[in-house]
Amino acid sequence: MAIREGDVIVVTTPYIPGYRVVKVIGVALGITVRSRGLGGRFLAGLRSLVGGEIQEFTELAEQARRQAIERMIKHAKELGANAIISFRLDSNEISEYMDEIIAYGTAVVVEPERGVDRVVME
């Protein structure tokens, strides 16, 4: 998986093809805690009776994931990084109604390898 957010490259691998790491800065973190609202819990409870995807919670989870990633990228930029390698996502249930989403990876400075014309990020 590779993400390009402006001038920051984010990958799940410990390397970026076509680039070399010139400086390892440290851990970049992005954390968000989300609560499931009473209305959402009620609707989800009704949906769970018939089975299938609970879209209210799926949308909430996607928003939380995106926010954690954005915060991690912001933290990496503040540290002076232009890339994050070994990116991971984790989640924890804090209580019955609250979840913590954590995005983390190694903030690094990379530069293109010599002799590499173009790297395709997919």
pLDDT value of residue 28: 98
Mean pLDDT of 55-76: 89
In a domain, 43, yes or no: no
Q: Give residue 12's pLDDT band: very low, low, confident or very high (50, 70, 90).
A: very high
Q: Is residue 100 part of a domain?
A: yes
Assess if residue 93 is contained within a domain.
Answer: yes
User: CATH code at 77?
Assistant: 3.30.110.70
Q: What is the pLDDT of residue 67?
A: 95
The answer as to whether 105 is a domain residue is yes
Token pair in block for residue 29: 């973190």
Write down the residue that tokens 């990958």 correspond to: 11
> What is the rounded distance in angstroms from the CA atom of residue 28 to the CA atom of residue 35?
24
Q: Examine the pLDDT at 110 and tell me if it is beyond 80.
A: yes
Convert the chain into a string of H (helix), E (strand) and C (coil).
Answer: CEEEECCEEEECCCCCCCEEEEEEEEEEEEEEEEECCHHHHHHHHHHHHHCCCCHHHHHHHHHHHHHHHHHHHHHHHHHCCCEEEEEEEEEEEEECCEEEEEEEEEEEEEEECCCCCCCCCC
Q: What pLDDT was estimated at residue 19?
A: 95
Share of the chain above pLDDT 70, in %: 74
CA–CA separation, 58 and 99 (whole Å)? 13
Range of the domain at 91: 2-35+68-112
Q: What is the pLDDT of residues 18-63, one digit of tens each?
A: 999 999 999 999 999 987 665 555 555 555 666 666 676 778 888 9
Residue 3 identity? I
**Number of domains, the chain:** 1
Q: Retrieve residue 112's tokens.
A: 């293109």
